[in-house]
Amino acid sequence: MASNQKVLMKGNEALAEAAIQAGCHHFFGYPITPQTEVAAYMSKRMPKIGGTYLQAESEVAAINMVLGAASAGVRAMTSSSSPGISLKSEGISYIAGSDLPCLIINVQRGGPGLGGIQPSQSDYWQATRAPGHGDLHILVFAPSTIQEMVDMVFDAFENADRYRMPAMILADGMLGQMMEPVVFPEKKVVTFDKESWATNGHKNQRPHNIVNSLYLQATELERKVKERFERYEVIKAKEARAEEYLVDDAELVVVAYGATSRIARSAINSARAKGVKVGLIRPQTLWPYPSAVIAKAAQTAKAFLTVEMSMGQMVDDVRLAVNGKAPVSFFGHTGGVIPTPAEVLSEIEKLTGGDR
Amino acid sequence: MLNMLLAGFGGQGVLFAGKIVAYAGLIEDQYVSWLPSYGPEMRGGTANCSVCLSDQPIGSPLVLAPDVLIAMNLPSYDKFIDKVVPGGIAVIDSSLIDKKCERTDIHCFYVPATELAQSENLQGLANIIILGKAFGESKFASFETVEQAIHKCVPAKKQHLAEPNLRAIQLGMGL
């Protein structure tokens, strides 16, 4: 694909193409709506570039193939939607426990259980709190446009390699299925030396590298986990990202990510046209969470409103960041129902005392 | 700015027609979004897609109140005709929908697109004939842009299909 040319692409296909351009030549997946186009695109492109496309027998197999490929030091990825991500959670924990980089894409649909197939953001807790068992975090990116999906694939692979940990792109059915114009950046792919840990064969020229997540000595395991958490502190200080929109003079700050942030922005524009002082903080990373940006806004804003396609999950992180300085309320829909700009506008007006 | 909703049965090509509109927006350097319905409705039920063209970034890509509605079957007509904004346009395939709209605050056009596709040797292009009428009435881009968009949307290996598509769009425009 020629770079610098604007093309119309589905979010799912753009994610796949971006991953290939970011140097990922190993994809292991399993079909599930609304994510299937990622795998379908990979199945067409990977053979042409000499890469590996493998449709595994299950999500559990696919994530463990990612573990194997990542152990060998190559950029590897898998993608799924909500129920499939639950199946992958064991493997995600093993990958984190083995200090391996990889990319996992979750194009969220309604849950719990098989749930539905329409867009949802109800895997926020899973992504940011418990992507697998044990003390662990993964990097979580939250794009809101197809262009940002592309850009974040590059960032996700890079930071996964830099910090040796899994990264996730938390999208949703709307972003996966919609098309928007997108430009593939002529980004130089940043590569990392993996010789010190990759189990990639060495003809007995160096000591063995061992990839492992099993530590039977409690003190040794504690040391490993603590080391990892020191790294997490660095990441929290350096890698949290958010976009601010009309926040400076805002009395009410809406916090929303991904598809919902687009809807919130439309509502905010309508409210501003009526003279309501409202702004938007759009977290671009969900772990690490941009708490500092929200805490700063809490010094001046009178109230916060979180808008999500869930029963209210990110609202926990907003409350932690606001730390009691202002009331934080929630508005949303779940199960695949998409909030409308008009509904969000009426919520904004309710909280700011109606039309003025 | 254009908020368009194209709706019909799976297989009638409403998603493809929507893609032509989206590409026209892209060629004219507008903000563009195209959002399909997905899932069971595509497998034999109703299918629809929302297309937005704007000079501002697009918030929700889901069109709930279209400026332009293309309805290619009765369930879609029933579901969406009341959603068209006042002053908006509805283009209705009268080969498949025998209802007449009672609203007086919108502009309704009745195009026997499915019959015309048969009689004009444009099999399978009722979607493009009806899009031609919608384009003629709403002028969401220049004709040259729409021509280019058709060439973009017809796969490289099937460029021989561009000519009947162009004929279909001109037929619709002339109605």
ipTM of the complex: 0.93
Yes or no, beta carbons of B57 and A265 under 8 Å apart: yes
pLDDT at A47 over 70: yes
* Burial class of residue B50, CB neighbours in 10 A (0-12, 13-18, 19+): buried
Distance CA A161, CA A158 (A): 5
Distance CA B37, CA B43 (A): 11
Instruction: State which residue of chain A sits closest to B33, comparing Cα positions.
Output: A180
Question: Given pLDDT bands bounded at 50, 70 and 90, which one contains residue B10?
Answer: confident
Task: Give the pLDDT score at B40.
Answer: 65
Q: Are B70 and B48 contacting, i.e. CB atoms less than 8 angstroms apart?
A: no
Q: Could you tell me what percent of chain B has a pLDDT over 70?
A: 97
pLDDT at A335 over 60: yes
Choice among A164-178, A201-215, B48-62, B87-101 with the minimum mean pLDDT: A201-215
Question: Given pLDDT bands bounded at 50, 70 and 90, which one contains residue B41?
Answer: low
AA letter at B158: K
pLDDT at A267 over 70: yes
> Which residue among B19, B34, B60 sits closest to A341, beta carbon to beta carbon?
B60
Yes or no, beta carbons of B39 and A338 under 8 Å apart: no
Which positions in chain A touch B27 (Cβ < 8 Å)? none
Q: What is the pLDDT of residues A64-109, one digit of tens each?
A: 999 999 999 999 999 999 999 999 999 999 999 999 999 999 999 9
Q: Could you tell me what percent of chain A has a pLDDT over 70?
A: 98
Question: Given pLDDT bands bounded at 50, 70 and 90, which one contains residue B46?
Answer: confident
Distance CA A38, CA A30 (A): 10
Task: Give the pLDDT score at A2.
Answer: 46
Question: Given pLDDT bands bounded at 50, 70 and 90, which one contains residue A205?
Answer: confident
Chain A interface, mutation test: which of B48, B49, B60, most A Cβ atoms within 10 Å? B60
Q: What is the mean pLDDT of residues A233-242?
A: 98
Question: Given pLDDT bands bounded at 50, 70 and 90, which one contains residue B42?
Answer: low
Task: Give the pLDDT score at A4.
Answer: 67
Residue reference for tokens 């772990």: A287
- How is residue A119 annotated by DSSP? B
pLDDT at A244 over 80: yes
Which positions in chain B touch A341 (Cβ < 8 Å)? 59-60
- Per the structure block, which two tokens stand in for B170? 């001109």
Q: Hey, how many other C-beta atoms are within 10 angstroms of the C-beta on A79?
A: 32
Which residues are CB-contacts of A124 (< 8 A; sequence separation ≥ 6)?
A170, A286, A308, A310, A313, A314
pLDDT at A237 over 50: yes
B29 torsion bin: left (phi>0), alpha (psi -120 to 50), beta (else): left
* Burial class of residue B73, CB neighbours in 10 A (0-12, 13-18, 19+): buried
Q: What is the mean pLDDT of residues B140-160?
A: 94
Q: Are A84 and A73 contacting, i.e. CB atoms less than 8 angstroms apart?
A: no
Q: What is the mean pLDDT of residues B71-87?
A: 96
Q: What is the mean pLDDT of residues A205-229?
A: 96
pLDDT at A52 over 50: yes
Task: Give the pLDDT score at A3.
Answer: 47
Tell me whether B62 touches chain A (CB under 8 Å): yes
- Per the structure block, which two tokens stand in for A46? 């990977």
Yes or no, beta carbons of B61 and A117 under 8 Å apart: no
Q: What is the pLDDT of residues A91-100, one digit of tens each?
A: 999 999 999 9
- Per the structure block, which two tokens stand in for A254? 């809406």
pTM comes to 0.96
Distance between start and end Cα atoms, chain A? 51
Which positions in chain A touch B60 (Cβ < 8 Å)? 262-263, 266, 338, 340-341
Chain A interface, mutation test: which of B62, B64, B152, most A Cβ atoms within 10 Å? B62
Q: How high does pLDDT run on average in chain A?
A: 96
Q: Could you tell me what percent of chain B has a pLDDT over 90?
A: 90
Which positions in chain A touch B34 (Cβ < 8 Å)? 8, 178-180
